[in-house]
Amino acid sequence: DSGVTQTPKHLITATGQRVTLRCSPRSGDLSVYWYQQSLDQGLQFLIQYYNGEERAKGNILERFSAQQFPDLHSELNLSSLELGDSALYFCASSVDVGVNSPLHFGNGTRLTVT
């Protein structure tokens, strides 16, 4: 168990809908990252937060948004969903940013858009 908690584990929804994925980082970790992994693909970096503030942005679509709350949990919001958004979404956390802290991944949320 990595200590990173993601909910829900599975999500099935229709095109055009909006969903929210939730992540609780490991105790003591201040940095949260979101990754998208489509079938048999690599880890696509979406966005990173550190202590409540956006730190880095990857190839995140405008339909997607995220935030990190004062208690350090994070939410990834996906709207106007398309079939191509079906993927495994991972959250990861680390102690700090920039001190080569290992990333610890959650078990992911599998999103299926029908």
Partner 1 sequence: GENVEQHPSTLSVQEGDSAVIKCTYSDSASNYFPWYKQELGKRPQLIIDIRSNVGEKKDQRIAVTLNKTAKHFSLHITETQPEDSAVYFCAASRPNEKLTFGTGTRLTIIP
Q: Interface with partner 1 by CB under 8 A: which residues?
A: 2, 33, 42-43, 45, 48, 55-56, 90, 97-100, 102-108
The 8 Å CB, 24+ separation contacts for 51-55 are: 55/31, 55/97
Contacts of 1 (CB under 8 A, 6+ apart): none
Least distance from C-beta 90 to partner 1, angstroms?
6
- Between 61 and 103, whose beta carbon lies closer to partner 1? 103
Q: Which is nearer to partner 1, 13 or 105 (CB)?
A: 105
Identity of the residue, 20 or 105, whose beta carbon is nearer to partner 1 in the bound complex: 105
